Structure 1
Amino acid sequence: MRARVVSGMRPTGALHLGHYHGALKNWVRLQDQHDCFFLVADWHALTTSQPEPEALANRVYDMVVDWLAAGVDPDRATLFIQSKLPEHAELFTLLAMHTPLSWLERTPAYKDWLSRAGTENASYGFLGYPLLQAADILIYQANLVPVGEDQAPHVEITREVARRFNHRHGSTVLTEPEALLTDTPRLPGLDGDKMSKSLGNTIAMRDTPEATTDKVRRMPTDPQRVRRSDPGEPSRCPVWPLHQIYTDADTRSSLAQGCQRASIGCLDCKQPLIDAIVREQQPWRERAEAWLAQPKQLQWVVELGTERARTVARQTLREVRDAMGLAY
């Protein structure tokens, strides 16, 4: 039996390079080694905003297209939409009967939200999102949850919820998952800050070569290199961290020397980066176009994955109900 992995994303629409290098690249690797369940966490998207129904649907399928374009294979991994499985909501409700309120109130995201928005703007759904996240994981009896180090506390809450449930009912009904710590590089955006849609500084996975070229060319560079003849320092340049991901050591060494000696300009330095990103994007665009040309097949992939997930979710719920004395 292969270890089971569960992970997911809120539906934000078409994805960017940060999503790929932070999560999708790892998902593609994991699907060859583990039994993977990847969910569109659309209920989680409602905890902090209320998008228009049509907009939400478009975001869901735009995101799934990018999963498939990145190489996530529905024959090797289970892809599904959270809201199509009311079993998640039922387990969330049953776990709520066991979970102390203080566990949810102490989560950093909730405390940060209260400090910014105030209690009157914090919904019960947002307070309970760590428990819904725990239900998403526990209902598939996940062994591993891939996260960056900063997200490990989210998995620990899930472990505590499972441990409390098992202790109270005197049996190991729910699997305590382990955090699978992954190297998720902080991909800089066009302004040097973390790449994020909310900051408007992204390069989309499916951007055209022209759009990618234009975006990278407009990125700020070493602020102390005012003229082309001024020597630069790559460590001060917001573009350089992208080179660490996209160009090889020899290329970086040559570019660094050229920058420090002022023998090349900033656009000369950016061109190998542009070429590398465009090469990476090409197969994504091709795969995405194939899926977009057959929307019914795209929906079928999601429906098939949802039914596959439902089989596992229902089995877990039966065991939970039995343990709680609800099998009547």
Structure 2
Amino acid sequence: MTEIRRVLSGMRPTGRLHLGNYHGALVNWARLQEQYQCFFFVADWHALTSDYENPKSIPEYIREMVIDWLSAGLLPEKSTLFVQSLVKEHAELFLLLSMITPVPWLERNPTYKDQIVQLENKDLSTFGFLGYPVLQAADIIIYRADAVPVGVDQVPHVEITREIARRFNFLYGNVFPEPQAILTPTSKILGLDRRKMSKSYNNAIFLADSPEEIAAKVSTMVTDPNRARRKDPGNPEICNVFEFHKLYSPEEVVAEIDPACRKAEIGCVECKKRMAQYLIAGLEPIREKRKALEADPQRVTDIIWEGTQKARKEAAATMELVRSALGLNLQAG
């Protein structure tokens, strides 16, 4: 297994981030930046693969997402933060990789099949949607990344990238490392209704939510469905509120809530109120950083621009190797 030195990951810009994004990715990204050279990018071209009909909101979403990244602990002095579409070399490598990638590799992608079903209201019969794993491969290997932090469901994406890199190296010489997947440790955190936390489900708590908004949302959270009345004993193991307690409440409070719920010594309303106060306190540092960044939009612009320039330098160096391997590095006479 290759020693990990450089890590890369990205997110599609869909607006402000929620606790699912935070615990599912950002907490881990902040940890990784202390160990490795990290590149984190805004995947705005990827957003177009399924939302190509309405791209006007993407610029605003980019800023909102980068602000959340910075508020959650990503540091521009430790991580390179950049926007995909501002590094044109991604598109060049995508084009070249598309020449050598067999179509069956893309058609067997499980996410491709799932999205076709889940997003049946959208026309996804486009080359861009079918070929997005090739763009994703270009995003990763253009920085010669050794690893990509992903959830279990995204491991097939990294494997396709490895296959594409392997095929390029076989055809043209050893240019790219084969990136490995780093499985992201995630907390069990669901939306207000116990489904996956998502903007589209309207069940999310956002990092930018005010204390009042958080308290109101927590009050609607689904608890143990078998606990219909205050005197009914509950089961914390199937209660979404208790999962949040374990993340944000002090250990002594968690130890107290567990038996109290099982013995019906505490009601769901009181339990939610107690959890909400700790959740609000836990997110306060993020909200404060966000306020400061919103008050200084030029700083956000500068961070994006400086990170993009660093990324372009790395990408350009890789493309010199790629063109040389393909014999495409012709010089003007």
TM tier, smaller: over 0.9
Q: Which residue of 2 aligns with 1:155?
A: 158
Alpha carbons 1:188, 1:242 under 8 Å: kept: no
Residues 151-177 of structure 1, C-alpha deviation per residue, up to 9 Å, x if partnerless? 1111111111011100111x2101111
Superposition deviation, residue 48 in structure 1:
0.5
Alpha carbons 1:207, 1:281 under 8 Å: kept: no
Compared CA separation, residues 222 and 5, structure 1 to 2 (3 A): same
Unpaired segments of 5 or more residues in structure 2? none
Q: Which residue of 1 aligns with 2:281?
A: 279
Whether 1:104 and 2:123 are equivalent positions in the alignment is: no
Whether 1:310 and 2:312 are equivalent positions in the alignment is: yes
Displaced runs of 4 or more, over 6 A:
none
Superposition deviation, residue 247 in structure 1:
3.0
Q: Which amino acid aligns with 1:39?
A: F
Aligned partner of 1:180 among 160, 182, 202: 182
Q: Which residue of 1 aligns with 2:203?
A: 201
Q: Which residue of 2 aligns with 1:165?
A: 168
Aligned residues: 327
Alignment of 1:27-46 (within 5 A): 27-46=29-48
Superposition deviation, residue 54 in structure 1:
3.9
Alpha carbons 1:192, 1:239 under 8 Å: kept: no
Alpha carbons 2:4, 2:146 under 8 Å: kept: no
Q: Which residue of 2 aligns with 1:135?
A: 138
Alpha carbons 1:113, 1:122 under 8 Å: kept: no
**Percent of paired sites with the same residue:** 50
Identify the range of structure 1 (47-56 vs 129-138) with the bigger mean alpha-carbon deviation. 47-56
Alpha carbons 2:43, 2:83 under 8 Å: kept: yes
Q: Which residue of 2 aligns with 1:295?
A: 297
Q: Which residue of 1 aligns with 2:222?
A: 220
So what's the TM-score if we normalise by structure 1?
Answer: 0.95
Aligned partner of 1:144 among 130, 144, 147: 147
Q: Which residue of 2 aligns with 1:123?
A: 126
Give the secondary structure class of the aligned counterpart of 1:74.
Answer: coil
> RMSD of aligned C-alpha atoms?
1.8
Superposition deviation, residue 237 in structure 1:
2.3
Aligned partner of 1:78 among 77, 80, 85: 80
Alignment of 1:235-250 (within 5 A): 235-250=237-252
Identify the range of structure 1 (300-309 vs 250-259) with the bigger mean alpha-carbon deviation. 250-259
Residues 115-141 of structure 1, C-alpha deviation per residue, up to 9 Å, x if partnerless? 463996421100011110000000000
Give the secondary structure class of the aligned counterpart of 2:59.
Answer: helix
Identify the range of structure 1 (116-125 vs 1-10) with the bigger mean alpha-carbon deviation. 116-125
Q: Which amino acid aligns with 1:74?
A: P
Unpaired segments of 5 or more residues in structure 1? none
Alpha carbons 1:203, 1:212 under 8 Å: kept: yes
Alpha carbons 1:22, 1:186 under 8 Å: kept: no
Aligned partner of 1:229 among 222, 228, 231: 231
Residues 9-65 of structure 1, C-alpha deviation per residue, up to 9 Å, x if partnerless? 000111001101000001111111110000000000000113644411111100000
Alpha carbons 1:2, 1:33 under 8 Å: kept: no
Alpha carbons 2:50, 2:122 under 8 Å: kept: no
Alpha carbons 1:13, 1:62 under 8 Å: kept: yes
So what's the TM-score if we normalise by structure 2?
Answer: 0.94
Alpha carbons 2:4, 2:147 under 8 Å: kept: no
Identify the range of structure 1 (261-270 vs 41-50) with the bigger mean alpha-carbon deviation. 261-270
Superposition deviation, residue 221 in structure 1:
1.8
Identify the range of structure 1 (119-128 vs 72-81) with the bigger mean alpha-carbon deviation. 119-128
Superposition deviation, residue 271 in structure 1:
2.9
Residues 93-146 of structure 1, C-alpha deviation per residue, up to 9 Å, x if partnerless? 001111111111110121223446399642110001111000000000001100
Alpha carbons 2:223, 2:239 under 8 Å: kept: yes
For residues 183 and 73 of structure 1, the distance between their equivalents in structure 2, rounded to whole angstroms, comes to: 21
Whether 1:113 and 2:121 are equivalent positions in the alignment is: no
Identify the range of structure 1 (238-247 vs 43-52) with the bigger mean alpha-carbon deviation. 238-247
Compared CA separation, residues 56 and 120, structure 1 to 2 (3 A): closer
Whether 1:19 and 2:26 are equivalent positions in the alignment is: no
For residues 171 and 176 of structure 2, the distance between their equivalents in structure 1, rounded to whole angstroms, comes to: 12
Q: Which residue of 1 aligns with 2:254?
A: 252
For residues 292 and 121 of structure 2, the distance between their equivalents in structure 1, rounded to whole angstroms, comes to: 46
Superposition deviation, residue 246 in structure 1:
2.5
Alpha carbons 2:234, 2:261 under 8 Å: kept: yes
Compared CA separation, residues 218 and 202, structure 1 to 2 (3 A): same
Give the secondary structure class of the aligned counterpart of 2:49.
Answer: coil
Q: Which amino acid aligns with 1:273?
A: M
Alpha carbons 1:11, 1:60 under 8 Å: kept: yes
